[in-house]
Chains A and B, each alone.
Chain A
Amino acid sequence: MSLTNFIDSGECVVIIKNLVNTFRNTSLYKGVQKQAHRFEQGALDLLPDATFNKPKTVKMISDIGHDISSAENRLILGVTALMTQPFIDAKNKNVDEETRRVSVCRTIAKIIAGTLTGYAIRKGAIKAIRAWSQLPAPGVSRYRTLFTPKGARSTNTEAYKQYQNAMGTVVALVVMMFTNFIIDAPLTKFLTNLMVKNSGGDKK
């Protein structure tokens, strides 16, 4: 049997499934699983019950799940990174003062460049996927249904919106494999040099 026939026949999937099942039946796996369950139950018992009574709070939490895509997530990560990472680098006593100063400048530059491009590309890709995942209908061109999954009935459901977010994020990640070199790296270098110069220059 050739490799392509082997893959097509689905036999490899059956073999992998059997291997996974065999591993799951081992006493080692069961022992680890039992301990993990015990640990999880212990953690659940430690925490007190909590009820959100205010409708405003409940709505806010539900809206976060609805509105926050990977683009907003990247922005949140970038802003919090600016609030933590430079201080961690500034407190690193393992390196000399000059190295520390350049390292702080480079960290800030990296965060700014990474966040700006990461947010913009994710947002753009998600927007593009929304435009290219319409339902097939008369007057809708073929490329506008390029990302539409088979069997999709409506584009207005929450699940479909999350699908568009996920697909947009995957496309953005592929795009970022190139922009990492084309935009991120030179922008980080430019911003680092600018900050090093403004903070007193490189004394080395």
Chain B
Amino acid sequence: MSLASFMEKVPSKIANQWSKFKVHMLKNYGENPGKMLVHTGTLGWILSSLAQVGAVVFNDKISSEQKSFLIPQEIADAAVNIISFYLITNSMKSFGAKLVSTGKLRTKRIRNFLEKNELMGRVGKRDFNIGELDNLGSLADHYKAFKNGVDVVTSTVGSIISCNILTPILRNEYASKRQKKALAHRQEYQMKNIQHPKGISIADYQKLSALKYSTKNPGLRV
């Protein structure tokens, strides 16, 4: 395919992808607001982490040596934030959804339905899913609304635990360790390169002193 013909097809390709993206969004998140909160929350973390890394990469005031230390550090920070957010929030949301779908957490209407259909014995079994039952009928909308509500509550609680409790504790621990390490590193560097105030190194200073106060020097009185 030539570049010209490829370029001609670009607008239609973009339009096609855009159309597919919109249908994908409707299919995936239209029925599941809790999933949307988890996924967009994770995307938010990824984008803000990219901004943090970018701020270091494109900062001219930071030397390349410092960058080689700071960039991996920012990436490690980002990975911890993103993974902890996704794992905690998604696990909370999934468990909340499981409680509703297995009938552990239910409304009076759902319980009446389960009792009427003699399904109480299956309540709490992980492979039991009320949403997949064929005879839900008018209960379907009630069940879906309740499940979406629980999904949103559990994903919000999960993000509060992750963003506002666990991440700040982990970040503080990590930052203080990092600070101590950086201070030790700086002190070590200063000790290695310590110099005489007039610009003479310790080694030269010792050599000069040895010459000055050697026994060959008549100025030395014993």
B156 with A76: CB separation less than 8 A:
yes
Q: Cβ of A84 and Cβ of B26 under 8 Å apart? A: no
Complex interface residues of chain A between 41 and 68 (CB less than 8 A to chain B): 41, 43-45, 47, 49-53, 58, 60-66, 68
- What chain A residues lie within 8 Å of B53 (beta carbons)? none
Dominant SS at the A interface? helix
B171-185 vs A: 1/0 string, CB under 8 Å? 011001101000000
Nearest neighbor of B176 in chain A, beta-carbon distance: A94
Complex Cα distance, B22 from A149, in Å, reads: 5
Smallest CB gap from A69: residue in B: B33
Contact across chains for B107 and A51 when beta carbons are under 8 A apart: yes
Contacts of A159 in B (CB 8 A): 26, 30-31
The chain B residue with its CB closest to the CB of A39 is B126
Contact A152:B126 (CB < 8 A) given known A94-B176, A166-B40: no
Partner of B19, one of A61, A150, A167: A150
| A166-B36, A166-B40 given; A150·B22 CB < 8 A | yes
Q: Beta-carbon contacts of A158-186 to B below 8 Å, as 1s and 0s?
A: 11101101110110011011001100000
Q: How many A-B residue pairs have CB under 8 A?
A: 175
User: Closest approach, in angstroms, between the C-beta of B162 and any C-beta of chain A?
Assistant: 10
In whole Å, how far is B170's beta carbon from the nearest beta carbon of chain A? 10
A167 (CB) vs chain B CBs: closest residue: B25
Other-chain residue from B102, B126, B146 in contact with A61 (beta carbon distance below 8 A): B146
For chain B residues 22-73, which have a beta carbon within 8 Å of chain A?
22-23, 25-26, 28-34, 36-37, 40-41, 43-44, 47-48, 50-51, 55
A→B interface (CB under 8 Å)? 2, 4-5, 37, 40-41, 43-45, 47, 49-53, 58, 60-66, 68-70, 73, 76-77, 80-81, 83-85, 88-89, 92, 94-95, 107, 147-152, 158-160, 162-163, 165-167, 169-170, 173-174, 176-177, 180-181
Given pairs A52-B107, A64-B149, A70-B37, 12 additional interface contacts (CB within 8 A): A60-B149, A61-B146, A62-B149, A66-B145, A81-B164, A84-B165, A92-B172, A159-B26, A160-B26, A165-B33, A177-B51, A181-B55
Residues of chain B whose beta carbon lies under 8 Å from any beta carbon of chain A: 1, 6, 19, 22-23, 25-26, 28-34, 36-37, 40-41, 43-44, 47-48, 50-51, 55, 95, 98-99, 102-109, 111, 123-126, 142, 145-153, 156, 159-160, 163-165, 168-169, 172-173, 176-177, 179
